[in-house]
Amino acid sequence: MKLILTGLWVVVVALGAAYGVALYMPSASDSAKAAAAAPVTLVTQKTRVINVPVVTGGALHGFVSAQFVFTQDGNLAKTVQVQPDVYLLDEAFRALYSDTAFDPDHVERYDLKKLTAGLVKATNDRLGVPLIKDVLIENFSYIDKDANKT
């Protein structure tokens, strides 16, 4: 009889301990809520200068020299294996090189807002995560190929 009562006592203590641990242990949903509540930390980074040739009608007219500053989610940047500036510059080169709306005679009419919005979308699509929040233009110049000839 003592053996049966001792066995029941051990079972009750073990179940009570398991219930106590489960009650006071934070759940996975609590940690997910804490991670979601973490404030977004924006980090800015400057790219190097790129020079993009402007070719229309098979002839070289000049070069666009551009430098960008972008803001990224600092928390998400820690999880990405590659540097986003490489992809941003590649997308900028592709966009400027292939844009038929760029008029070397009227650079002031070029839609920079459309360019920066397109760079954010294209870079994030290639990275697979919404890392880039905004792209700013540090420098955007057009250099005519005949400008230095005397």
Specify whether the CB–CB gap between 124 and 89 falls below 8 A. Answer: no
Write the CB contacts of 109 (distance below 8 Å, at least 6 apart in sequence). 103
Residue 110: pLDDT above 80? yes
Residue of 113, 101, 6 lying closest to 56 (CA atoms):
101
Question: What is the pTM for the complete model shown?
Answer: 0.70
Map out the domains of the chain as residue ranges: 2-37, 42-144
**Tell me, what's the pLDDT at 38?**
63
Q: 106-128 as b/e, with b when 16 or more CB fall inside 10 Å?
A: eeeebeeeebbebbbebbbeebe
**Tell me, what's the pLDDT at 52?**
94
**Tell me, what's the pLDDT at 51?**
95
Share of the chain above pLDDT 70, in %: 89
pLDDT tens per residue, range 26-79: 665 665 566 566 677 889 999 999 999 998 888 888 999 999 999 998 888 888
**Tell me, what's the pLDDT at 33?**
63
**Tell me, what's the pLDDT at 121?**
96
CATH number of 42-144: 3.30.420, 3.30.479, 3.20.20, 1.10.3470?
3.30.479
